[in-house]
Structure 1
Amino acid sequence: MTGKEMTKRIATLAVALAAVGLLGACSSNSSEPIPTTISTPASAAVTPGSPAAMLAATPWETTSATDAHGTVVPLTDDHVKNYVGFAYFKSDGTFTMFNLDDTPKMHGDWSVSPDGRTRTIIAKNDAGQEQFTRVVDIVTLNDKDFTYRVYPTADDRTVYFDIIHTPTTHPEPAK
């Protein structure tokens, strides 16, 4: 593949990711999944140095959660328990997630907006059919912390929970 073809492919991917980000900005960030037919190609490579590359650089474990007042919320709380587990974001644009007891949680495609402000997951069943899409605001994303924000009620931005992940050496369980 020539450099020109690669540049064109990367530009096409950037446009697709931007479209997903714009759609996510219009969607609900509630804990309820939102059905969609938009998908990120699993063959999409992560650009080195990008926010997506940072997310794909390590496996992540949910280690805590806080509410809008900064108060620590137990990981068993009804508002956060659906977001708890181990996450493995692969550089090919696919992900797997497991509960803390290593039972399978979900898998599918993922992306981070080019500006690093949102993360999108598209959960799929074993047949590859889309089950739901979840777009969340990224609060922090660096080599020590990946925190995203969820809103229990989409139209109330004053009530939210930050889901905090740290890198883990926990090996990815077999599905």
Structure 2
Amino acid sequence: MTVEQTSTGTALVGAELERTCTQFLYREAELLDESDYSGWFGTCLSEDLEYLIPIRTTRERSAGISEFSREAFHMKDTYASMRLRVDRLLTEHAWAEDPPSRTRRLVTNVRVRELAPDEVEVKSYLMLHRSQWDTADYDLLVAERQDVLRSEAGEWRLRRREVLLNHTVLGTANLGVFL
């Protein structure tokens, strides 16, 4: 694989690797927007998955510490707990998703950095539009996602995702959808 350095020392990956990672993110968004949770779980997630959405707090600039908690999370899941979430969404007991949300995920600003021959870090921006019922109300969530993708049997799988929400207060009643 050809990796070039920029003037800032950041490693650039080849266009083909960047394209395949971007296509993975687009396909994942499509599966989730189509409510194909079984397909998403079965084709996108690695068995050693870490899925984190830390709580964001407002801090003074001079504090010099991250706005994102390392102890409190909106979601802190593993492959096993994500399996439970997906299984529940497929039953009549997923009350937060009855009726199901209508979602559209916009994935943009994809940046790829090689970590190992079979593992990459992929940063992207996400905007999620979500509506339910027959109202004009909707939720709009914006975040940066910091993912680690691993090639398993020739296919990319999500090994780790940290979702850094722009919001300190969520304007949604629940997080019954995946980011």
The TM-score bracket by the shorter chain reads 0.3 to 0.5
Higher relative contact order (CA 8 A, sep 6+): 1
Higher strand share: 2
After TM superposition, the score normalised by the length of structure 1 is 0.35
Higher helix share: 2
After TM superposition, the score normalised by the length of structure 2 is 0.35
